[in-house]
Chain A
């Protein structure tokens, strides 16, 4: 069964707008990672947030984690057409490396 569940399933915005995607999970985690997948390609790591962290930034990406609500959000600011992709959250438990992924959010950014 899936641990992380992304919301929304699909998001369509205009270039320049912000995009927010959410991830909910069920069991305790050690870390949560966000990945991007362009059509026909493998996943690419974007950012990792550990269970004792609440917020992290990387360029135009901002990730928050609320362990009390078992949820995380990924914010992409000033989106570009090149950000069009599927975005997945992967939750990591106590076993190093093992990640459980959600179904992903399909983001479409219109030029």
Chain B
């Protein structure tokens, strides 16, 4: 398996623009997580899905952020409009309940810079 795939790897955009981050989880995994990592706040869980259904979005900072999972193999995190304080590395991770493991598999991340 190729692991969790994220795109783009780097994104530079101007304040006010819409940004869409993409994630393909490991095939067969039923949980998907979106995290944000900054020096100031560390690694924060934004939202997670189970079987494509959002379970907990309490970490989403504000209404400018939205996430969808239209099917088991694809998820998006959208920021509209983007602001400089959204600059961070965004990680997607997936996990499977089938083997009882709680281990999360992380993607390589998308480094977002908002100028």
Q: List chain A positions with a Cβ less than 8 A from chain B.
A: 2, 31, 33, 35, 41-45, 48, 88, 90, 92, 95-104
A-B contact pairs, 21 of them (CB 8 A): A33-B102, A35-B106, A41-B108, A42-B93, A43-B104, A43-B106, A45-B105, A48-B101, A48-B102, A95-B56, A96-B31, A96-B50, A97-B48, A97-B50, A97-B102, A98-B45, A98-B48, A99-B45, A100-B45, A101-B42, A101-B43
Q: How large is the interface on B (under 10, 10 to 19, 20 to 34, 35 or more residues)?
A: 20 to 34
Q: List chain B positions with a Cβ less than 8 A from chain A.
A: 4, 31, 33, 42-43, 45, 48, 50, 55-56, 91, 93, 95, 97, 101-109
- Most interface-central of A92, A97, A104 (chain B CB within 10 A): A97
B-side interface mostly:
strand
A-side interface mostly:
strand
Contact A97 B105 (CB under 8 A): no
**Nearest B-chain residue to A41, judged by Cβ:** B108
Contact B31 A48 (CB under 8 A): no
Contact B103 A45 (CB under 8 A): yes
**Given A33-B103, A48-B102, A48-B103, A42 contacting B91 (CB threshold 8 A):** yes
